[in-house]
Structure 1
């Protein structure tokens, strides 16, 4: 038995009016297949180009090891030069990923290769972020701290994206005081006997290829798996729905600081307690169904 996932709609291209009416207002994900073909990035951006233009930059790397109490918020697991990382990606499978790598800050000239599209939303122009991964590397299922509307532009290789709306959180074994689910769930191939609540979660799935754009609505959970080495860029717009905007403020101004404080006070006991509570809370939902 597999997860209950429907294919995300795919459009060749969309006008601003079509996007707002069909996808933004109802908060539905969509893959736009041919939106960026006039960008220089469409023909230029690949791993070799990133190695050439940013090879000497030191990049932060992350893998799929479980969260530890003594690691800070988004603290990298390793660092290496971009040229070394690209060579690694192209030579063998690796769990190491780059995420939240600010294009403007690190390699300003890359901004000449793309423009900010007019989707009818005000994009945060200071925060274009790049994400890299090797074959079969993946993120944990998570949602972003600011519950933003995300436009995810993919370059080189293939990437599998699994999404769930916030309404399905009760079935996902969410870790309290965090933005992730249980880290031992493989959402690409979950054990539904061990995690039975997942049978009730209704989500979405799509594979991305070079030049595709995935719109991820406000606060959607997302799990990204690199089928082959590649990278993506995300542009974002703030949450517009009052409930999501309020939750974003809570996460940014209180939740992350409270969680870090409890890690310092209780250490690994805090992490273990949160992992156990994720199961207990989700089982209570199953009992009520």
Structure 2
């Protein structure tokens, strides 16, 4: 038995005011199917084109190994030319993925292929990030440290996105001072006997095809799984709610530095302590709800 998913709403197109009124203001996810239809990227952004324009770029690659106290946050596990990586990706010879890569910085011509959509969000123009993965590769469940509003565009394949509202974080086995949950939770096949608090979350799910955009509101947890080889681009806007801005400030300027300091001081023991606290603190919420 798995989760009782809610299907993310879909619209073909939408006006900026309706998007803000019906989705940003109530903080509700949505898929817009045709937002990129007039972008050059809609026709061009497939693997062969990326190889042509960025094939020589050396790109950072990541695996899904658990957090290691010896590694810096977002430190890559490998690197290789983009063209070589895409060949391995399409042929199924790698499980490595590209994560948070600002390719526009290295290949400015790609900026001519997309538009910053007018959706009444103040998008950060310097931070279009790309993500690549092969069939079956997943991106661990997490939320973004800055509580941004995220516009997530998918290309060249299909991708499953599972979202959990921030209001349900107390049941997520969140790791203290981090933006991830227990990494040994299988969100494709959740073990509710081992992780009973997960019975009390109601995730959203959306399967994205080429050119579709998913809006992920502020602080939403998200787990991504590539159903086929593909890649995505995210645009982001700052949090609009004061409490989310406060949490973003805490995450970036306090929690992150404290966590790094404790890693240096206690090493693996700190990670073990946080993993145990994720269980004990989540079950405190669960027991309080059931009492």
Q: TM-score, normalised by structure 2?
A: 0.98
Structure 1 residues 222-273: Cα deviation after superposition (integer angstroms, max 9, x where no partner):
0000011000000000001000001111111111111111111100000111
For structure 1, the residue ranges without an aligned partner over 5 or more in a row are none
Given the alignment of the two structures, is residue 125 of structure 1 paired with residue 130 of structure 2, yes or no?
no
Q: Which residue of 2 aligns with 1:87?
A: 87
Q: Partners in 1 of 2:144 and 2:83 — Cα distance?
A: 28
Q: Partners in 1 of 2:4 and 2:251 — Cα distance?
A: 29
Q: Partners in 1 of 2:246 and 2:103 — Cα distance?
A: 28
Instruction: Give the secondary structure class of the aligned counterpart of 2:140.
Output: coil
Q: Partners in 2 of 1:104 and 1:126 — Cα distance?
A: 9
Given the alignment of the two structures, is residue 167 of structure 1 paired with residue 158 of structure 2, yes or no?
no
Between 221-230 and 279-288, report the one with greater CA deviation.
279-288
Q: Partners in 2 of 1:95 and 1:193 — Cα distance?
A: 29
Q: TM-score, normalised by structure 1?
A: 0.98
Q: Partners in 1 of 2:91 and 2:226 — Cα distance?
A: 15
Please say if residues 94 and 135 of structure 1, whose CA atoms lie closer than 8 Å, have aligned partners that are also in contact.
Answer: no
Instruction: Give the secondary structure class of the aligned counterpart of 2:36.
Output: coil
Paired residues, what number?
289
Alpha-carbon shift at residue 218 of structure 1 (Å) = 0.5
Q: Which residue of 1 aligns with 2:191?
A: 191
Alpha-carbon shift at residue 95 of structure 1 (Å) = 2.2
C-alpha distance 93-222 of structure 1, shift in aligned 2 (>3 A): farther
Instruction: Give the secondary structure class of the aligned counterpart of 2:141.
Output: coil
Alpha-carbon shift at residue 103 of structure 1 (Å) = 2.9
Between 97-106 and 217-226, report the one with greater CA deviation.
97-106
Q: Which residue of 2 aligns with 1:56?
A: 56
Q: Which residue of 2 aligns with 1:24?
A: 24
Q: Which residue of 2 aligns with 1:245?
A: 245
Q: Which residue of 2 aligns with 1:139?
A: 139
Structure 1 residues 73-102: Cα deviation after superposition (integer angstroms, max 9, x where no partner):
111111111011101111115321101111
Q: Which residue of 2 aligns with 1:107?
A: 107
Q: Partners in 2 of 1:280 and 1:242 — Cα distance?
A: 29
Superposition map of 1:38-57 within 5 A: 38-57=38-57
Between 62-71 and 249-258, report the one with greater CA deviation.
249-258
Given the alignment of the two structures, is residue 207 of structure 1 paired with residue 207 of structure 2, yes or no?
yes
For structure 2, the residue ranges without an aligned partner over 5 or more in a row are none
